[in-house]
A and B are shown apart, each in its own frame.
Chain A
Amino acid sequence: MTDTLSDWNLLTLVGADRPGIVSRVTRVLYGLGCNLGEASMIRLGGNFTIMLMVSGARPDAEILDALAPVAGELGLRLHLDPLSGGLHQHLLPNIQVRVAGADRAGIVADVTEILAGQGFNILELESDVAGERERPVYIMNIQGYSDQTIETLSGALAPLTERGVSVDVSPVDVLIG
């Protein structure tokens, strides 16, 4: 990782989901001559969220001005922040932690604190609420890198099982072929 500012900005857009958001936004960016890098676009709670690496070929103000009409029309809130680092800095996870339980309060903090204590570097975390409305089940999937063994990590997370939280630690085996 580098700490120096790069040519990349992080564009964040959040708003009620409706058709055409991605195409409208990316068309504007293309029109400005911006390059797009890594992106995460996903629905969260019925909202559409976009986090998008945009090359800083243009001044920030110009990018924001150009997006303003589309954002206004589609009801999107937007942010543009300078980004350190850039493309081609992928780290490969070697461990996956799956968590599921009825107990939502504090579950994320509890799991991630234990992992942090083991020097586990979280690379991706996704969580969702499944089950029925009256009986929600919190499901979390973490991928990351750790030098600890599966047994050590499982052991560290074991106290959560007593709270009825199911925790599964398994290797992420990346096949290269």
Chain B
Amino acid sequence: MAILDILKLPDPRLKQVSESVASFDQVLRDFIADLEETRLAGPSAVGIAAPQVAHFQRIVILDLSGRPKTPNHGHLVLINPEITHWKGFAMGREGCLSVPDYTGNVIRATQIRLKAQDADGVEHQYEMEGFEARAVQHELDHLDGLLFVDRVVSRRTDLHRRKVYK
């Protein structure tokens, strides 16, 4: 196991689009273990995506098991994840291991349906909401070479008003 180096803005490799995982083998399992160790070594991140450590495959780790008050599926390894359904939107504050010392407001879908494989290649479907849905959208962006700073909106962007008069 090893703690891997995290790419930081403005490293251009963060813009690279990651490739699908095809082999579910020991190499994959070893990498997932390193990715998890790297996530835990950093400042309380609920998720990490493989491209953040310069490994350009569609692999995400998500762990909201430490947040009993938020609906979540606990610790997840998501391989080749795909959001198949979006609903609602909300603004929330995000930060990123790849963007130290900055947080910003981002609009994300509040409910999603997610399809992903696990480390053994078995496909699963998840219904997610709120914070967990936000975390998945943040991590999946990394797989497509996007950072939350590409989506930051001003706090004056008034979601509240739009909600009232919809």
Contacts and interface: CB of A to CB of B under 8 A. Distances in A.
Given A126-B155, A126-B156, A141-B155, A175 B131 contact: yes
Contacts of B26: none
A67 to B, nearest CB: 26
Nearest to B93: A174
Which range contains the number of A residues in contact with the other chain? Answer: 10 to 19
A176 B45 contact: yes
Q: Rank and list the top 4 A-B pairs by shortest CB-CB distance, nearest first.
A: A177-B47, A177-B138, A176-B45, A176-B95
25 contacts: A42-B156, A90-B103, A126-B156, A128-B156, A173-B92, A173-B93, A173-B131, A174-B94, A174-B103, A175-B46, A175-B92, A175-B93, A175-B94, A175-B131, A175-B138, A176-B45, A176-B94, A176-B96, A176-B97, A177-B47, A177-B48, A177-B49, A177-B96, A177-B135, A177-B139
Interface string B135-159: 1001100000000000000011000
A120 B157 CA distance: 25
B23 interface: no
Interface of B: 43-49, 70, 92-97, 101-103, 131, 134-135, 138-139, 155-156, 160-161
B45 to A, nearest CB: 5
A172 B93 contact: yes
Contacts of A141: 155
Interface of A: 42, 88, 90, 92-93, 98, 124, 126, 128, 130, 141, 172-177
B73 to A, nearest CB: 15
Contacts of B103: 90, 92, 174
A123 to B, nearest CB: 11
Contacts of B70: 173
A90 B100 CA distance: 11
B46 A176 contact: yes
Contacts of A172: 93
Given A90-B101, A92-B103, A177 B46 contact: yes
B62 to A, nearest CB: 8
Nearest to B102: A90
Nearest to B142: A177
Contacts of A42: 156
Contacts of A176: 43-46, 94-97
A173 B44 CA distance: 13
A42 B92 CA distance: 21
Of B43, B95, B102, the most chain A CB neighbours within 10 A belong to B95
Contacts of A98: 160
